[in-house]
Amino acid sequence: MQYLDQVNQLDHATIDKLTTAVEIGKWENGEKLTDRQRESAMQANSFMAGQSHKPDQ
């Protein structure tokens, strides 16, 4: 499965958790995000935001 396919499979709860983690710099359990985790979460969030603004095809 490709990266974008995996991101497309994320549910809203997971996207919300990623968004919160990026905003506060920590996971729900208090563990700090690594630079790589932060970058990946930001990319996934950006992709999903772009998908929600595309017209139906």
Domain ranges of the chain: 3-52
Region of poorest pLDDT, from 9-18, 20-29, 44-53: 44-53
- State residue 57's pLDDT score: 44
What's the burial of 18, exposed, middle or buried (CB within 10 Å: 0-12/13-18/19+)? buried
What's the rounded Cα separation, in Å, for the pair 46 and 54?
Answer: 13
Measure the CA–CA gap between 47 and 33, rounded to whole angstroms: 19
* Backbone torsions φ then ψ of 42, nearest 5 degrees: -65, -40
The model carries a pTM of 0.70
